[in-house]
C-alpha cells in the first residue's frame, strides 16, 4: 500500500516541503532510511542522519531549518514524535481492516454479533456470547459461554477467553493471552493432599486496556478479577484470582501478582516485579524492575529491591552492599589487632 507525501500531510495536518507526489510504502529508522520509506526526526542527536538518509519522506518539526541540501521530502508538523505515532496508528488501522466471517468457525446459535465484524478461521464462539461492533477476532481464538466483548476490540490469534469474562470497548488482546482460567486455589487435607477450591467468579476487563502476548489473568474465586480502564499490560504477566488493578497503571513483562492484591491508579511497575497476596498498593506508585513486594505500599512511593525498600534508601544502602567485603576485611583486621594487644 502506497501513500503520497500530500496524503500523509493531510492525515497529520502538516505541510509538505519538497515533492508532494513522492510515494512511500514502508517505514524506517532515519539512520536506515531507504528509497520508498517514511521516517521521522524528533531527537536532536539524530539530526546528522537527515542529510544522509535515503528515506523518501521525513517528518520534522515545523521549526526545523536544514543546514545542508536534503534528498528527502519533508513533512513539517507541530510534534514529529506524536505525528509519527498517529501515522503508525493509522497504518495499523488500515492493515487490520478485515471484515467477514471466515470458514470454518463454530458460532453458537445463541451468540450475538455486532456490525462490521471480522472473525478468522478456526474460531470458537460459545453460547450466549455477545460481541459488539467493529470487533476483529483473528484465527484460532476460543471464546467461552456468556462472554461479553465491547466495541472496537481486537483479539489476536490463539487467545483464549474463558466463560463469563467481560471485555470493554477499545481493548487489544494479544496472541496466547488466557483470560479467566481458574485461580490457583487449593486447600490441604489431613493427609497433606491438596483439594481444589472451585473458582466461580470471572474476569472483568474495562475500556482501553491492552494485554500483551502470553499474559494470563485468572478468574476470581468469588466475585471478579478486575482490570480497570486504561491499564497497559506487557507480555508474560501473571495476574491471580481476585486481583484488582487501578486505572492507567502500566506493568512490564514477567511480573506476577498473587491473589487478592489491589494495585492503585497510575502506577508504573517494572519487569519481573513480584507481589505477595492480599496487599494494598497505593496510587502513583513506582516500582523498579525485579523488586519483591511483601507489604502494603502507600500512595506516591518509589521502591526497589527484594524485599523492596524506598528507592532513595535502597541506593544509599547499595553503596554499602558493594563495599561489604572491604568492610568485613577491615573488621577482621581490627579484631586481629585488638586480639594481639
Q: How far apart are CA 34 and CA 40, in angstroms?
A: 13
In what helix (H) or strand (E) does residue 161 lie, and over which residues does it extend? strand 160-161
Grid coordinates belonging to 5: 507525501
Best CA proximity match to 260, nearest among 231, 224, 295, 285: 224
**Residues known to be catalytic:** 241
3-state secondary structure of 21: coil
Q: Are 310 and 302 in contact (CB under 8 A)?
A: yes
The alpha-carbon radius of gyration of the chain (Å, integer) is 26
Terminal C-alpha separation, the chain:
86
Q: How far apart are CA 35 and CA 193, in angstroms?
A: 66
Sign of CA dihedral 305, 308, 309, 311: positive
Amino acid at each position: 500500500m502506497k501513500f503520497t507525501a500530500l496524503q500523509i500531510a493531510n492525515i497529520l495536518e502538516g505541510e509538505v516541503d519538497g515533492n508532494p507526489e513522492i510515494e512511500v510504502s514502508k517505514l524506517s529508522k532515519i539512520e536506515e532510511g531507504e528509497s520508498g520509506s517514511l521516517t521521522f526526526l524528533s531527537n536532536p542527536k539524530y539530526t546528522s542522519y537527515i542529510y544522509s538518509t535515503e528515506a523518501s519522506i521525513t517528518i520534522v518539526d515545523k521549526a526545523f531549518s536544514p543546514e545542508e541540501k536534503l534528498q528527502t521530502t519533508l513533512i513539517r508538523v507541530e510534534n514529529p514524535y506524536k505525528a509519527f505515532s498517529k501515522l503508525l496508528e493509522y497504518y495499523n488501522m488500515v492493515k487490520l481492516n478485515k471484515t467477514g466471517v471466515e470458514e470454518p468457525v463454530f458460532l453458537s446459535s445463541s451468540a450475538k454479533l455486532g456490525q462490521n465484524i471480522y472473525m478468522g478461521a478456526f474460531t470458537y464462539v460459545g453460547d450466549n456470547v455477545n460481541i459488539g461492533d467493529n470487533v476483529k477476532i483473528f484465527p484460532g481464538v476460543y471464546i467461552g459461554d456468556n462472554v461479553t466483548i465491547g466495541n472496537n476490540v481486537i483479539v489476536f490469534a490463539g487467545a483464549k477467553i474463558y466463560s463469563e469474562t467481560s471485555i470493554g470497548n477499545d481493548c487489544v488482546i494479544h496472541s496466547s493471552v488466557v483470560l479467566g482460567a481458574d485461580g490457583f486455589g487449593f486447600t490441604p487435607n489431613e493427609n497433606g493432599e491438596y483439594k481444589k477450591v472451585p473458582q466461580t467468579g470471572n474476569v472483568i476487563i474495562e475500556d482501553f486496556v491492552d494485554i500483551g502476548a502470553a499474559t494470563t489473568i485468572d478468574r476470581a474465586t468469588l466475585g471478579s478479577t478486575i482490570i480497570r480502564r486504561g491499564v497497559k499490560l506487557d507480555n508474560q504477566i501473571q495476574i491471580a484470582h481476585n486481583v484488582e488493578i487501578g486505572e492507567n497503571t502500566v506493568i512490564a513483562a514477567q511480573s506476577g501478582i498473587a491473589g487478592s492484591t489491589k494495585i492503585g491508579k497510575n502506577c508504573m511497575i517494572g519487569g519481573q516485579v513480584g507481589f505477595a497476596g492480599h496487599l494494598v498498593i497505593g496510587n502513583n506508585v513506582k516500582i523498579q524492575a525485579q523488586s519483591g513486594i511483601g507489604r502494603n505500599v502507600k500512595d506516591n512511593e518509589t521502591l526497589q529491591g527484594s524485599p523492596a525498600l524506598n528507592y532513595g534508601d535502597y541506593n544509599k544502602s547499595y553503596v554499602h552492599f558493594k563495599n561489604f567485603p572491604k568492610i568485613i576485611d577491615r573488621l577482621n583486621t581490627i579484631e586481629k589487632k585488638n586480639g594481639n594487644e
